[in-house]
Chains A and B, each alone.
Chain A
Amino acid sequence: DTGVSQDPRHKITKRGQNVTFRCDPISEHNRLYWYRQTLGQGPEFLTYFQNEAQLEKSRLLSDRFSAERPKGSFSTLEIQRTEQGDSAMYLCASSLSGNQETQYFGPGTRLLVL
């Protein structure tokens, strides 16, 4: 068990460019979550997958954002036409559905949009 991994760890892009982040959850975990965290704030929920099904999307997830988990394993989060307001830490977490539902977080991808 190597924990949740995310790639890349840092991304700098120019406004208007598209970016894609990847998350690899803990191998046996069937639930995967994306959160966004801005400086000085707690993470905010973006979206959630159970296996390959995307079950909920936050209002924070505009049309420019799309997330996939095609085979119920890794997930990608794409941001199209990035804006400066998209600059944040994007965190991925995973859990095993059941009674305790402890969520385990990855190291995050820090995005800076210039």
Chain B
Amino acid sequence: KQEVTQIPAALSVPEGENLVLNCSFTDSAIYNLQWFRQDPGKGLTSLLLIQSSQREQTSGRLNASLDKSSGRSTLYIAASQPGDSATYLCAGHETGYKLSFGAGTTVTVRA
């Protein structure tokens, strides 16, 4: 069973600082890895999906890397803004469909 861990559980940074969120997984036979954002009491918004054959994906200020051999993915958010405050979740796709989630990192960006 895929186990996904996210460290730290919470992070507080001043506006403008770059964010680095870590995700580790136990099964290197991961299919894809997906990063999500969740605002309090809301559903999940997909940010980036990295296919198993890729090493990174970029979208605007977001960049996600994937290292299957070490079982790690990192989400970078450049020049953080107060609107980036949310919980960020990573999830590994098992056999191409079922997602196994970490518990998330809750980010607070201070104005």
B60: CB under 8 A from chain A? no
Q: Which of A86-105 contact B (CB under 8 A)?
A: 91, 93, 95, 99-105
* Given A100-B49, A105-B43, A105-B45, A42 and B101 contact (CB-CB distance below 8 Å): yes
Please, how many angstroms separate the alpha-carbon atoms of A108 and B39 in the complex?
12
Query: How far apart are the CA atoms of A41 and B103 in the complex, in Å?
Result: 5
Given A101-B32, A107-B43; A35-B99 close (CB under 8 Å)? yes
Q: Out of A91, A101, A105, name the residue touching B96 (CB < 8 Å).
A: A101
Residue from A6, A31, A42 having most chain B Cβ neighbours under 10 A: A42
Point out residues on B near A: beta carbons under 8 Å. 4, 31-32, 34, 36, 41-46, 49, 51, 89, 91, 93, 96-104
Interface residues, chain A, with chain B CB atoms under 8 Å away: 4, 6, 31, 33, 35, 40-45, 48, 56, 91, 93, 95, 99-108, 110
